[in-house]
Structure 1
Amino acid sequence: MDRIDCMRAFVAVAATGSFAEAARQLRQSPSGTSRAVAELEAQLGLVLFNRTTRSVKLTERGRIYLESCRQILDDIETAEAYARGEGARPQGVLTVAAPILFGRLHILPLVNALLAAQPTLAVRLILSDRNAHLAEEGIDVAVRIGDLGDSSLMARKLGRVCTAIVASPDYLAEHGVPETPDDLKNHAIIAFEPLDTTNEWRIAPGVRPVRLMPRLMVNSADAAITAAEAGVGVTRALSYQVRAGVEAGHLVPILTRYKAPEIPVSALYPPRRIISPNLEAFLQFAGEYFRSNPVVPLWEWGNPG
């Protein structure tokens, strides 16, 4: 079997976690897909998948090889599109991943505008608060909030956020406004578990962390913010998550003299010699969207409270 066809079978199995589903997507028999992967393993002298009766999972070497395969196949597809004179026209499916709330507030409007402008393009939008693995899950571009470390992925900066501590005006009128981080110990705390993995809140650089006992713990930023707006207590979230509530007067930022660190918001995508028209269109629209709708830390809002 052709080496490129074997690579396509390998990538499809890695993306679906199933030989049968990969075969269905490739429109070939499961035995043909299995044979293609086996041929590739024989050529490489490697085991690419750990197979059991219940699951198919990449080996460590398979995970490394997958990223190179995706890049090769993407480059082939893009080169063929340019050769056919289709290089400037986005078409097919672009897969985008983003955090749930950020995706709903910012990436979905961006995608809606992109789809309106590009009638031959389709988008698969995955909203999840976990960091997806781009190569394994067939994701073309992912929006991440946080430091990127030593990621080998390419990054395009979209904005900046920070943590913000907020409560409703009614709650603060009844219980008083905390003036120092230690004052939070005397207040009802609403903890958002993905952000508050411990009970220590690190308010700002150089400020001693404060250990708090939450009265309400939730695993959704939306739920924590809704509870704070209802007057249940004080919560901490990312600035973009609470901006609408603050501007509507439902929430008030507190302890704002303690400046929280900035957190970058980035679009990540695999390094490629040729950027596909689909990805290029998304990055262009993302740049335009965030210039018109900047995502910035609380202290750049103007007068947040």
Structure 2
Amino acid sequence: MDRWSSMRIFVKVAEESSFAEAARKLNMSPPAVTRAVAFLEEVTGARLFIRTTRAVNLTEAGERYLRDCQRILMEISEAEAAAGGVHARPSGYLFVTAPVIFGNIHVTPILTAFLREYEGVTARTLFVDRLVNIVDEGVDVAIRIGHLEDSGLSAIRVGAVRRVLCAAPSYLAAAGIPARPAELPRHNIIAAVPGGNGVEWHFGRNGETSVSLRPRLFCNTNEAAMRAAIDGWGVARLLSYQIEGEQARDELQIVLADFEEDPLPVHVVHPEGRLTSAKTRAFVDFVVARLRTTAALNSH
């Protein structure tokens, strides 16, 4: 029996949780579907499904095998598409992740421009301020800010952003502009972290200077910390791209710029492999070209 066809049948049974429904969707007889799964169980030496009168569920081995089959079938499909022409038109479902504010400001307009150019693509965004496991969560492309750990991912650097201290001009007029980091304990501090008793901010190349602070306001989002700073409550530490609009409107003023740490790199990241879908290749080229010309990532 053809192993590729059997894998395709197995995946359909897993998706439908039903041998009969899989047979109907594949326009096959139920016995043929059963034989294909039995063939794979014989080849692998593992039971792939637990079958009862009411349900068909994957075993633990079946769940692992399903992920492998999905990957293999996708690679076969992409190999066939590539063989049909390296300039195949991008199509399909594109999943993109980025930090919240960066995604809102920079990624969304790039993504909508990409969708206008490639009508066969449908996109979904996941803008969150956490490290997304792009393999486990099925993400095609991620924008990462900060130093990357070694991984099996392909990363293309597109620029860098600064960690900046900022406050409203009204606050600085009343409290004074700090001239060096050691003066910060005398100021109202806004921490863009969920909570705690204190924070330690680092300054200078490689962060060789540190200042321990006890903020009176802990914010669990960067947006909230920014709003508190705009309202004149105190000094916040954010990333340069997050306040570019507010700085241009004179709502926030950067302080202690001469003491900043080294900028943080920004990368476009995607799973590495012999085969990458046309939609992913096209979007990576598209977003890299545009982010590299973004002033907020290149003004250092």
Distance 2:9 2:219 in 1: 41
Q: 1:52 corresponds to which residue? A: none
C-alpha contact (below 8 Å) 2:47/2:59 kept by paired residues: no
Distance 2:37 2:156 in 1: 34
| Runs of at least 4 residues off by over 4 Å | 1-13, 35-49, 56-59, 68-71, 83-87, 194-198
Q: 2:88 corresponds to which residue? A: 88
C-alpha contact (below 8 Å) 1:171/1:233 kept by paired residues: yes
Q: In the TM superposition, what is the alpha-carbon distance from 1:88 to its structure 2 partner?
A: 2.0
Distance 2:7 2:284 in 1: 27
SS at 2:257's partner residue? Answer: coil
TM-score by length of 1: 0.77
1:7/1:104 Cα in 2 relative to 1: closer, same or farther (>3 Å)? farther
1:10/1:146 Cα in 2 relative to 1: closer, same or farther (>3 Å)? farther
Distance 2:134 2:286 in 1: 21
Deviations 1:27-73 (A, max 9, x none): 748xx99x999986875567999xxxxxx9989x959x95x666534
2:24 aligned with 1:23? no
Q: 1:16 corresponds to which residue? A: none
C-alpha contact (below 8 Å) 1:48/1:62 kept by paired residues: no
Distance 1:189 1:11 in 2: 54
Distance 1:83 1:235 in 2: 53
Deviations 1:71-124 (A, max 9, x none): 534321212223455852001111111111111111111100000111111111
1:185/1:162 Cα in 2 relative to 1: closer, same or farther (>3 Å)? same
1:37/1:189 Cα in 2 relative to 1: closer, same or farther (>3 Å)? farther
1:70/1:293 Cα in 2 relative to 1: closer, same or farther (>3 Å)? farther
C-alpha contact (below 8 Å) 2:197/2:214 kept by paired residues: no
C-alpha contact (below 8 Å) 1:99/1:143 kept by paired residues: yes
Q: 2:261 corresponds to which residue? A: 260
Deviations 1:213-249 (A, max 9, x none): 1111111111111110110100001111111111111
Amino acid of the structure 1 residue aligned with 2:88: A
2:292 aligned with 1:296? no
Q: 1:130 corresponds to which residue? A: 130
Distance 1:189 1:37 in 2: 62
Distance 2:287 2:241 in 1: 16
1:5/1:199 Cα in 2 relative to 1: closer, same or farther (>3 Å)? farther
Q: Identity over the aligned pairs, expressed in percent?
A: 37
Amino acid of the structure 1 residue aligned with 2:131: N
Deviations 1:122-176 (A, max 9, x none): 1111111222222221111111111112121011112211210000000000000
What aligned pairs does 1:132-211 form with structure 2 within 5 A after superposition? Answer: 132-193=132-193, 199-204=199-204, 205=206, 207-211=208-212
Amino acid of the structure 1 residue aligned with 2:268: A
Distance 1:78 1:258 in 2: 49
**Deviating more after overlay: 284-293 vs 145-154:** 284-293
What aligned pairs does 1:32-111 form with structure 2 within 5 A after superposition? Answer: 43-44=43-44, 62=64, 66=67, 72-84=72-84, 87-111=87-111
Q: 2:214 corresponds to which residue? A: 213
- Mark the runs of 5 or more structure 1 residues left unpaired by the alignment: 14-18, 50-55, 301-305
C-alpha contact (below 8 Å) 1:95/1:125 kept by paired residues: yes
Distance 1:256 1:111 in 2: 33
TM-score by length of 2: 0.78
C-alpha contact (below 8 Å) 1:71/1:272 kept by paired residues: no
Deviations 1:167-192 (A, max 9, x none): 00000000000111111100111100
Q: 2:285 corresponds to which residue? A: 284
1:159/1:39 Cα in 2 relative to 1: closer, same or farther (>3 Å)? farther
